[in-house]
Amino acid sequence: MSVDREKLLKRLAITLNQIAETAEDIARHQAAIAALNGTARAPTWRRRGWPMPSTCINVAEQQRLEKALGQRG
């Protein structure tokens, strides 16, 4: 395996981990907000289906890395 491919795979693993951590953070924040509001409803931005900006960045990075790995594979 080339050094470049190893670096891409490591970066992809980090990115996937960040996406998972962001999902966990979102769930925790939703629970905290619901508890503070006394409701089980999700925050407005989530109800409307708007993703968190950090999620968008990480998903774009994931797609870029997977594309680069596919071209080199």
Kindly give the residue spans of alpha helices, DSSP state H, lying in 1-73: 3-37, 44-47, 53-72
Work out how many domains the chain is built from and give that number. Answer: 1
What is the span of the domain harbouring residue 60?
3-72
Residue 43 is predicted with a pLDDT of: 56
Total residues found in the chain within this entry: 73
pLDDT in tens, the chain (73 residues): 687 999 999 999 999 999 888 888 888 887 888 788 776 565 555 555 556 677 778 888 899 999 999 865 4
How far is the C-alpha of 15 from the C-alpha of 4, rounded, in Å? 16
